[in-house]
Amino acid sequence: MQHLNLPSYLEQSDDVRDRFARMKQRPVVLEVKNLSKEFESRGGSVTALHDINFKTRQREFICVIGPSGCGKSTLIRILAGLETPTAGEMLLDGRPVSGPGPDRGMVFQGYTLFPWRTVRQNVMFGLEVAGRSRAHAEEEARHWIDLVGLSKFEKAYPHQLSGGMKQRVAIARALANQPRILLMDEPFGALDAQTRARMQAYLMEIWQNIDITVLFITHDLDEAIYLADRIVVLKAHPGEISEVIEVPVPQPRQPDQFLSPEFLATKLRLEQLIHPPVADEEANDDALNMMRMVPKGSAVESVF
Amino acid sequence: MTAATRKSESGYVAPVALQSRVAWFAVRKELGPRPRLALSVLSFALPLLLWCAVSYIPWLWHPMMEITDPGDVEYFRAGQLVERETFEREAQAVVEGAGKLPTGNPANPIYLPAPHQVAAAMYTAFTDPPQRRSEKWLHESLGSSIQVIFWGFVLSSLIGVPLGILCGTYDFFSRLWEPFVEFFRYLPAPAFGALAVAILGIHQAPKIAIVFIGTFFQQVLVVSNTTRKLDPALLEAAQTLGAQRLSLLFRVVIPGIVTDLYRDMRILLGWAWTYLIVAELIGTSSGITWFITQQARYKNFDNVFAAILIIGVIGITTDMVLAWLGRRIFPWQRGTASA
Ligand SMILES: Nc1ncnc2c1ncn2[C@@H]1O[C@H](COP(=O)(O)OP(=O)(O)OP(=O)(O)O)[C@@H](O)[C@H]1O
Ligand SMILES: [Mg+2]
């Protein structure tokens, strides 16, 4: 990639710059302040996150990306209220929140649909818990199921659905509560490449059409650039923000932008951040200790 | 399966080599419906065949002789069972004294009746009145046993299931109750027989108490473990959807474990039958156990076998009905897709 003559990822077209300027006028939905998390384990304490600060604005799409084990899941679990931070706080619409609640919807990587409930009953769950009438909940659920294109499967049980369909139900189930922010932890990580691409397109469409702010975790660089307005890049040990990137690829996104100069420039920058050039010693440690195990005169002596 | 038949209906014959061979010993692969049925039938047919062989093939086992004509042996009576050795020794003695030879047929000991005798006993148990006045009909004995099991199991479940769910859901209850339950589980239920009689009298109540004690403590532990096995991700998902406290318990924990709970109950019901047998021996003995001991005392082993088999039939029928019901009640269980 280095051979191409790419612009800097910091260069933005006028449209894109204008859009980011307008976005900064929008109200802040979620603010994370000095967030840290340490896990106590037998071998001592592990700092999973250290002093994380960022803001998301209304209807912004933020991706969080970083190497494995840098604390992405820990961060999103804290935001969802499933984990308590060791220090720092988070503000939702300016008010501090703690503990899980319907104002922050979550879609997990593993399929967490309730197996004993049909698609419709799954989507109704949050509404029932909130004490809505049955008729109202059903009406509302039907609307969200329609939105994710699963009307035909309303009465199906989760075990009858494919992975992609399950995640669509999970999205509908989270959205039915009309949360302020939708938290997604590698939701498409277990899907095959084609289904994943289709799901990304669905998600973009949903995001464009309803008032929702999305915080999306992934380790797939293309996915992050394709979906995000801004990308929060984390580094590991301890988990800290190394950079927040404004994606210079114009909206609305199309699959043909994957090869545009802005896209590639951003990808190059992400590669540098996430896979920094390895120091010599470390590289030596990692090298395989290989010796030739193909006999001389074997039918295929070399793979070249 | 359906796809294949549909194809052949439309005139297209699927390549036979692909599907005709059944792999009987594939590791952890399910067999098709026909081999499955065949094996289920065999699983009953084989023991029955063995029993028939031992009963009807005269040179297989048959350590006794049933005497048809006592001849000149003084203490032989027609219809009497003697050991083969004794018979031959006496016959030898008669030959030496030039008397009349006894005759007889090879037979099995009295405690192994032939299948047809047991079948007949099973039939007559319901048609012919008991031989002695003090005796009860088989179905009366069974009825009393089933009552004991039913009440013992229902009472145990009414308390044990909620307790188990609480223990599996809240660490508080688990720490508070489980150590004691764990301890009590090791006390053998029959040991409480005398105590139960002293407190509850001699009739059905102490027997129900024994079945209760035998079932209850296992039940609490089994149910609490099942509850703990619920995928915690479901609870987390429910929390992010706004569920808290009691709604977590009633909308997630309980529906989430109900299918496993149902399976546990089927297994526990089987255990309850084991406790029934000891329970019925205390106080005034009654029920199927009394029937069996009584019949064994009079050496009516065909009746004994009939009673034992009927217990088995009741057990397996109950379980099959419950399994079938389970599939109706819980349509979301894997493998029962209505599609
Ligand atoms: N419950 C826990 N107890 C102890 N340490 C934990 C716990 N959860 C996470 N960690 C540690 O915190 C760090 C961050 O974990 P986390 O799962 O958030 O990473 P991640 O970025 O989501 O990784 P991945 O890309 O593999 O999903 C890891 O070093 C992990 O070992
Ligand atoms: Mg993770």
Residue B103 lies in a domain: yes
Cβ burial, residue B335 (10 Å; 0-12/13-18/19+): exposed
Task: Tell whether ligand 1 has an atom less than 6 A from the beta carbon of residue A70.
Answer: yes
Do B183 and B96 share a structural domain? no
Distance from CA of A219 to the nearest CA of B (A): 21
For testing contact with chain B, the best of A114, A127, A175, A183 (most B CBs within 10 A): A114
B260 — contact with chain A (CB < 8 Å)? no
* More reliable by pLDDT, B203 or B177: B177
Kindly determine whether residue B234 and residue A114, on different chains, have CB atoms separated by under 8 Å: yes
* pLDDT the model gives residue B337: 39
Give the residue-averaged pLDDT of A218-230. Answer: 91
Residue B339 has pLDDT above 50, yes or no: no
Give the residue-averaged pLDDT of B110-116. Answer: 90
Task: Tell whether ligand 1 has an atom less than 6 A from the beta carbon of residue A217.
Answer: no
CATH of the domain at B316: 1.10.3720.10
Distance from CA of B253 to the nearest CA of A (A): 11
Residue B52 lies in a domain: no
Peptide bond just before B190 cis, omega within 30 deg: no
Choose which CATH entry (3.30.420.40, 3.40.50.300, 3.30.465.10, 3.40.47.10) describes domain A14-103+179-285.
Answer: 3.40.50.300
* pLDDT the model gives residue B178: 94
Residues in Cβ contact with B131 at an 8 Å cutoff, skipping those fewer than 6 apart: B298
* pLDDT the model gives residue B20: 60
pLDDT per position as a tens digit, B295-314:
888 888 998 999 999 989 99
For B331, the closest of A106, A129, A157 (CB atoms) is A157
Instruction: Please tell me the residue having the least CA distance from ligand 1 atom 26.
Output: A68
Q: Tell me how far apart the alpha carbons of residues A106 and A92 are, in angstroms, rounded to a whole number.
A: 15
Q: What percent of chain A has a predicted confidence (pLDDT) above 70? A: 95
Residues in Cβ contact with B230 at an 8 Å cutoff, skipping those fewer than 6 apart: B168, B252, B253, B256, B257
Residue A145 has pLDDT above 80, yes or no: yes
Residue B98 lies in a domain: yes
Task: Tell whether ligand 1 has an atom less than 6 A from the beta carbon of residue A48.
Answer: yes
Six-digit token string for A51: 């002093």
Q: Tell me how far apart the alpha carbons of residues B208 and B196 are, in angstroms, rounded to a whole number.
A: 9
Six-digit token string for A108: 């997990």
Average pLDDT, chain B: 87
CA of A72 to the centre of ligand 2 (A): 6
Do B160 and B74 share a structural domain? no
Residue B235 lies in a domain: yes
Measured between CA atoms, the residue of chain B closest to residue A121 is: B251
Six-digit token string for B43: 């699983």
Q: DSSP label at B191?
A: G
Residue with tokens 């099995």: B108
Do B305 and B160 share a structural domain? yes
Do B193 and B156 share a structural domain? yes
Instruction: Please tell me the residue having the least CA distance from ligand 1 atom 23.
Output: A69
Mutate to test the pocket of ligand 1, among A70, A78, A221 (most ligand atoms within 8 A of CB): A70
Q: What is the ipTM of this complex?
A: 0.88
Give the residue-averaged pLDDT of A15-27. Answer: 89
A108 — contact with chain B (CB < 8 Å)? yes
Do B237 and B271 share a structural domain? yes
Q: Tell me how far apart the alpha carbons of residues A139 and A118 are, in angstroms, rounded to a whole number.
A: 15
Residue A290 has pLDDT above 90, yes or no: no
Cβ proximity of A161 and A36 under 8 Å? no
Kindly determine whether residue A101 and residue B242, on different chains, have CB atoms separated by under 8 Å: yes
Contacting B residues, span 225-244, partner chain A, CB-CB under 8 Å: 231, 233-234, 236-243
Average pLDDT, chain A: 88
Do B319 and B199 share a structural domain? yes
**A130 contacts on B by Cβ (under 8 Å):** 242
Do B216 and B308 share a structural domain? yes
Do B303 and B162 share a structural domain? yes
For B334, the closest of A108, A159, A174 (CB atoms) is A159
Kindly determine whether residue A105 and residue B241, on different chains, have CB atoms separated by under 8 Å: yes
- Residue-level length of chain A: 304
B258 — contact with chain A (CB < 8 Å)? yes
CA of A83 to the centre of ligand 2 (A): 14
* pLDDT the model gives residue B3: 44
Domain extent for B258 = 127-338
CA of A232 to the centre of ligand 2 (A): 15
Kindly determine whether residue B233 and residue A102, on different chains, have CB atoms separated by under 8 Å: no
How many folded domains does chain B comprise? 2
Residue B113 lies in a domain: no
Residue B326 lies in a domain: yes
* pLDDT the model gives residue A172: 94
Beta bridge partners of A40: A45
Do B220 and B82 share a structural domain? no
Kindly determine whether residue A116 and residue B332, on different chains, have CB atoms separated by under 8 Å: yes
Task: Tell whether ligand 1 has an atom less than 6 A from the beta carbon of residue A69.
Answer: yes
For B236, the closest of A82, A102, A160 (CB atoms) is A82
Do B240 and B328 share a structural domain? yes
Distance from CA of B234 to the nearest CA of A (A): 6
CA of A217 to the centre of ligand 2 (A): 8
Contacts 24+ apart (CB under 8 A), B190-197: B190/B278, B190/B279, B190/B282, B193/B278, B193/B279, B193/B281, B193/B282, B194/B282, B196/B282, B197/B282, B197/B283
Contacts 24+ apart (CB under 8 A), B95-99: B97/B72, B99/B71, B99/B72
Q: Tell me how far apart the alpha carbons of residues A105 and A127 are, in angstroms, rounded to a whole number.
A: 13
CA of B54 to the centre of ligand 1 (A): 66
Contacts 24+ apart (CB under 8 A), A50-54: A50/A238, A50/A239, A50/A240, A51/A88, A51/A240, A52/A88, A52/A239, A52/A240, A52/A241, A53/A241, A54/A232, A54/A241, A54/A244
Do B73 and B220 share a structural domain? no
Residue B263's identity, in one-letter code, is R
Kindly determine whether residue B241 and residue A102, on different chains, have CB atoms separated by under 8 Å: yes
Reported confidence tier of residue A260, pLDDT bands at 50, 70, 90? confident
Do B147 and B182 share a structural domain? yes
In 3D, which of A140, A171, A165 has the Cα closest to residue A150? A165
Q: What percent of chain A has a predicted confidence (pLDDT) above 90? A: 55
Q: Tell me how far apart the alpha carbons of residues A52 and A69 are, in angstroms, rounded to a whole number.
A: 16
Q: What is the largest CA-CA distance in chain A?
A: 79
